[in-house]
């Protein structure tokens, strides 16, 4: 905004605009300093509004710097003033010709026609997945996981017998931990699939920070969510009940645990 127009707005709103008359000590150098009426030049009246507030030196600067083109046009003859008008019209004509060129190409039936369809964004599914995993820390290195909450006690007893038979494990196991998603039933929080993967990854990172190195999972849901976070289970069983009732499944679990340096 030009300074004179800004002062016009201030004058219309009834706001007094102050101009320094002298440079104060230790103050920044002001841009304009009002001169005394005896030495002030005659101000240019750039606005014909009644009650217009014009500062002498400010009006001089505004007239000389803000409107140089007006003075140049008034000093040139009529024939010379036609050239800028023609130059301003020429770009508009060129733009119209450029805009009409694609239309002419499209109207030609012999030209190949390629229609570009706008890219459609794929809808994002924000429906929260629903699952529950039971984590059992059987030892310093192993975590057993099931997706059946009713099989937690059976899995805990079975894991204790397996570790007792394969090692000198006679200590107590930590209580099972339940990971349920959605963590909180809320319609305002984002609990979509990517958020669930991040939360489960943080939970598994908690186990690995404490020394966990392998996972034994039971159930398709357990295997699916471990794969989602990039964890490959050491052993996968359909359910803890089927593994306990099948000699072949128990033998496969035994050999999988035997391949580890420690369980």
Choose the final residue of a domain: 49, 72, 95. Answer: 72
Check whether residue 65 and residue 169 sit in a common domain.
Answer: no
Q: What is the pLDDT of residue 72?
A: 47
In a domain, 112, yes or no: no
In a domain, 222, yes or no: yes
Range of the domain at 63: 3-72
Q: What is the pLDDT of residue 2?
A: 77
Check whether residue 137 and residue 254 sit in a common domain.
Answer: yes
Check whether residue 165 and residue 240 sit in a common domain.
Answer: yes
In a domain, 159, yes or no: yes
Residue 23: Cβ-neighbour burial (10 angstroms; 0-12, 13-18, 19+): exposed
What is the DSSP code (8-state) at residue 63? I
What pTM does this model have?
A: 0.53
Strands 214-218 and 235-237: parallel
In a domain, 83, yes or no: no
Q: What is the pLDDT of residue 136?
A: 95
Check whether residue 54 and residue 160 sit in a common domain.
Answer: no
Average pLDDT over residues 49-57: 46
How far apart (Å, rounded) are the C-alpha atoms in residues 240 and 146? 8
Q: What is the tally of structural domains in the chain?
A: 2
> From residue 220, how far is each of 198, 225, 240, 263 by CA, in Å?
20, 9, 12, 23
Q: What is the pLDDT of residue 151?
A: 93
Check whether residue 141 and residue 29 sit in a common domain.
Answer: no
Check whether residue 56 and residue 147 sit in a common domain.
Answer: no
Choose the final residue of a domain: 53, 72, 91. Answer: 72
How far apart (Å, rounded) are the C-alpha atoms in residues 13 and 172? 82
How far apart (Å, rounded) are the C-alpha atoms in residues 105 and 55? 60
How far apart (Å, rounded) are the C-alpha atoms in residues 139 and 162? 11
107-123, pLDDT tens digit by residue? 455 555 555 665 666 67
In a domain, 188, yes or no: yes
> Model confidence at 4, in pLDDT bands (50, 70, 90)?
confident
In a domain, 118, yes or no: no
Check whether residue 140 and residue 208 sit in a common domain.
Answer: yes
For the chain, give percent helix, strand, coil, nearest 5.
Answer: 45, 10, 45
Check whether residue 138 and residue 51 sit in a common domain.
Answer: no
Average pLDDT over residues 114-136: 77
Residue pair 128/199 in contact (Cβ under 8 Å)? The answer is no
How far apart (Å, rounded) are the C-alpha atoms in residues 71 and 236? 89
Check whether residue 64 and residue 169 sit in a common domain.
Answer: no
The pair of structure tokens assigned to 1 is: 């905004």
Sign of CA dihedral 240, 244, 248, 253: positive
Check whether residue 67 and residue 161 sit in a common domain.
Answer: no
In a domain, 253, yes or no: yes
Residue 137 reports pLDDT greater than 60: yes
Choose the final residue of a domain: 31, 52, 72. Answer: 72
User: What angle do helix axes 152-166 and 247-258 make, rounded to 10 degrees?
Assistant: 60
In a domain, 105, yes or no: no
> From residue 45, how far is each of 36, 49, 52, 63, 209 by CA, in Å?
18, 9, 9, 9, 79
């Amino acid at each position: 905004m030009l300074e004179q127009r800004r002062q016009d707005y201030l004058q219309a709103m009834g706001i007094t605009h102050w101009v320094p008359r002298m440079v104060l000590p230790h103050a920044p150098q002001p841009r304009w300093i009002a001169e005394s009426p005896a030495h002030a030049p005659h101000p240019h009246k750039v606005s014909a509004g009644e009650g217009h507030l014009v500062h002498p030196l400010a009006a001089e600067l505004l007239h000389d710097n803000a409107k140089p083109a007006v003075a140049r046009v008034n000093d040139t003859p009529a024939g010379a003033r036609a050239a800028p008008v023609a130059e301003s019209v020429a770009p508009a004509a060129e733009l119209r010709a450029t805009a009409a060129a694609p239309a002419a190409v499209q109207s030609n039936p012999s030209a190949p026609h390629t229609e570009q369809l706008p890219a459609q964004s794929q809808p994002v599914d924000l429906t929260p997945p629903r699952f529950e995993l039971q984590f059992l820390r059987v030892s310093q290195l192993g975590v057993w996981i099931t997706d059946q909450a009713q099989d937690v006690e059976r899995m805990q007893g079975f894991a204790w017998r397996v570790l007792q038979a394969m090692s000198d494990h006679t200590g107590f196991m930590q209580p099972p931990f339940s990971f349920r998603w959605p963590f909180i039933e809320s319609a305002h929080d984002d609990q979509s699939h990517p958020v669930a993967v991040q939360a489960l990854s943080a939970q598994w990172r908690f186990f690995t920070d404490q020394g966990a190195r392998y996972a034994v999972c039971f159930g398709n849901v357990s295997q699916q969510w471990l794969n989602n976070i990039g964890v490959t289970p050491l052993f996968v069983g359909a359910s803890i009940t089927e593994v306990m009732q099948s000699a072949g499944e128990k033998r496969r679990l035994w050999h999988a645990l035997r391949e580890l340096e420690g369980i």
